[in-house]
Amino acid sequence: MDRLQIHINVNPEIYLRDPNSSELGRKIVSSGIQLINELGFEKFTFKKLGEQIGSPESTIYRYFENKQTLLVYLISWYWGWIEYKLVFSTANIDSPTLKLAEAIKVLTQPITIGNSFTHINAVLLEQLVIEESVKIYHTKDVDQANSKGYFGIYKRVVQRASEMVLSLNPNFEFPHMLISTVIEGAHQQRHFAKHLPSLTDVKQGKDNIAEFYNQLVFKIIA
């Protein structure tokens, strides 16, 4: 998988100019990931990003309308990447149980290798998603963003995993709630483990988070 030349399709509504279509665009994205991680989204500005990449901020504005849509782009790319992993790694599994178990793994285990085949560092990007992604949903213009299809890939990931839940237990009433709880929960628990450990039960060495959500899924749909 790691040698494959893949391309993640992000909804073109999100950008003004495809950042993947030029060297500068790719620099905006890769340095953007790094700088948002470093400063946090609030302190991150296009001016600072411009300094980092040696371009004026006005140039960055020709790619993204504002820093919020850059964030939406990055997070959307992340979910595209997860969707790809989800489809790829469950494709050849016949048993619905094993299939779902594999899906839960993809959705809850941390990415440990920065993928070598794009300008995007997936480990850093996942860190960014964990710390910042809530900020794209929790705004006054969620509804507008949603109607433009900004969250399309994410919703598709939830839908795919929900279907795996249903194929195991067609009578289960809350597949989408379950999956979105698991996805968001896993990220949140990683954040808590780092900053508010008393809200978790993370022990060093073991990946309790993936284990917990695995148990949770299989016990509730049993």
Helix, strand, coil percentages, rounded to 5, for the chain: 65, 0, 35
Count of residues in contact with DNA, rule CB under 7 A: 21
Residue pair 50/59 in contact (Cβ under 8 Å)? The answer is: yes
Nearest distance in Å: CB 105, DNA: 37
Q: Is the dihedral of CA 166, 110, 194, 77 positive or negative?
A: negative
Member of 8, 17, 124, 163 binding DNA (CB under 7 A): 17
Residue pair 37/124 in contact (Cβ under 8 Å)? The answer is: yes
- For its own copies, which is the closer residue by CB, 19 or 158? 158
In whole angstroms, give the CA distance from residue 113 to residue 137. 27
**Residue 57 touching DNA (CB under 7 A):** yes
Q: Among candidates 56, 76, 83, 63, which has minimal Cα distance to 20?
A: 63
**Residue 59 touching DNA (CB under 7 A):** yes
**Residue 109 touching DNA (CB under 7 A):** no
- For its own copies, which is the closer residue by CB, 102 or 132? 132
> Which among 66-74, 89-97, 150-158, 184-192 is the span making contact with DNA, rule CB under 7 A?
66-74
Give 46: exposed, middle or buried? Use CB within 10 Å, 0-12, 13-18, 19+.
buried
Member of 11, 34, 37, 45 binding DNA (CB under 7 A): 45
State the residues that interact with its own copies by CB under 8 A: 39-40, 42-43, 131-132, 134-135, 137-140, 142-143, 146, 151, 155, 158-159, 173-178, 180-181, 184-185, 188-189, 191-192, 195-196, 198-202, 208-209, 212, 215-216, 219-220, 222
**Residue 201 touching DNA (CB under 7 A):** no
Q: Among candidates 218, 40, 13, which has minimal Cα distance to 135?
A: 40
Residue 180, contacted partner among DNA, its own copies, none, CB below 5-8 A by kind: its own copies
**Residue 43 touching DNA (CB under 7 A):** yes
Q: Is the dihedral of CA 185, 112, 74, 36 positive or negative?
A: positive
In whole angstroms, give the CA distance from residue 71 to residue 77. 10
Residue 142, contacted partner among its own copies, DNA, none, CB below 5-8 A by kind: its own copies
Residues 6+ apart with CB under 8 A from 7: 20
Nearest distance in Å: CB 133, its own copies: 9
